[in-house]
Amino acid sequence: MLKKRLIPKFLLRDGKLVKYTRFVDDERMAGNPVTTAKVYNDYGVDELIVLDIVPSEAPRAGVVGIIERMSEEIFVPFTVGGGVQSLESVNALLRAGADKVSVNSHAVRQPAFVSEAARQFGDQCITVSIDYKQVSPTSRRVFIDGGREATALDPIEWAQRCQDMHCGEILMTSIDHDGTMRGYDLDAIHALSARLDVPLIVSGGCGSLQHAIDALEAGASAVAISSMFLFTDNSPIKLRSHLASRGLDVRVSTSSRN
């Protein structure tokens, strides 16, 4: 069985690290992405996720430059996404140093792209990112374009389709929970983990050590965390130690920060 992973999540706007609530509210500046990545590298995190939240047809030169600098400074795998709409974009990000590339809106508009990218670059290189909202007490829907456009897709069914198209893993983000620090969408995690064979990374709502435990015990393969690491004193070291003490199978820390 794969070990549970702890993954800091970066949101980039114009090359700067930012954070919002529910994708649009309460913008907060959160530092320099390369410097912050180096700190997390020293903490011994398992991976990083870096998302450019301003979509573009091809990776901006500035974002590619950031990825190149990060790949020179850190020694943990990282996933990069945001506005990826072509095989050329995937290739550019991988060549810049990304280990995996995340596809979101374009996967919805052109589902065959997931299969094409997985075939050309390998399943392990392609992550499908799915943003969703609860639109009624019994219904969730996938949203694209940074949460601005609703679709008719059910996120759980869409995740299963992406798995069938050979993506390597799924990154699920609850827009309703994002940035609230009130906990993950555990009902969705239970439902998804029961139906997926590929790893499930969950994002949106982590504000305490217990929230991460709840998500992993609900079936998530990994927790993606932004606000809690950026704005509280709960570090990756503290979280990893807490998870291990609860019997969760996490990697032994190799942190240089003790």
Residues 166, 123: contact at Cβ < 8 Å? Answer: yes
Q: Looking at residues 60-85, what average pLDDT do you find?
A: 90
Taking the CA of residue 189 as centre, how many other CA atoms within 13 Å lie in the half-sphere pointing to its CB?
28
- Specify if 252 maps to a domain: no
Residue identified by tokens 């997390």 is 40
The number of distinct structural domains making up the chain is 1
pLDDT of residue 58: 47
Residues 39, 17: contact at Cβ < 8 Å? Answer: no
Q: Looking at residues 108-120, what average pLDDT do you find?
A: 98
Q: How far lies 108's CA from each of 56, 156, 165, 209, in Å?
A: 16, 14, 12, 33
- Specify if 137 maps to a domain: yes
By C-alpha distance, which of 200, 199, 217, 221 is closest to 209? 217
Q: Looking at residues 122-130, what average pLDDT do you find?
A: 98
The residue with greater pLDDT, 45 or 59, is: 45
List the domain range (segments joined by +) for residue 219.
Answer: 5-245
> Domain of 131: which CATH number?
3.20.20.70
- pLDDT tens for 26-39 read 889 888 999 999 99
- pLDDT tens for 81-111 read 998 999 999 999 999 999 999 999 999 999 9
Chain centroid offset of residue 106 CA: 16
Reported confidence tier of residue 56, pLDDT bands at 50, 70, 90: low
Alpha carbons 48 and 37: distance in angstroms, whole number: 8
- Specify if 257 maps to a domain: no
pTM of the complete model? 0.94
- The DSSP code sequence of 114-141 is HHHHHHHH-GGGEEEEEEEEEEETTEEE
Alpha carbons 35 and 25: distance in angstroms, whole number: 25
- Specify if 23 maps to a domain: yes
- pLDDT tens for 131-177 read 999 999 999 999 999 999 999 999 999 999 999 999 999 999 999 99
Per-residue DSSP letter, 30? -
The pairing of beta strand 139-144 with beta strand 126-136:
antiparallel
Residues 230, 35: contact at Cβ < 8 Å? Answer: no
- Specify if 204 maps to a domain: yes
Taking the CA of residue 250 as centre, how many other CA atoms within 13 Å lie in the half-sphere pointing to its CB?
30
- Specify if 79 maps to a domain: yes
Per-residue DSSP letter, 125? G
- Does an H or E element contain 229, and which? helix 227-231
The residue with greater pLDDT, 122 or 26, is: 122
User: What is the percent of the chain where pLDDT is above 90?
Assistant: 86
Chain centroid offset of residue 169 CA: 10
- Specify if 74 maps to a domain: yes
Helix or strand or coil: residue 148? coil
The pairing of beta strand 48-52 with beta strand 5-13:
parallel
* Sign of the CA dihedral with 8 first, then 14, 16, and 18 last: negative
Alpha carbons 204 and 225: distance in angstroms, whole number: 7
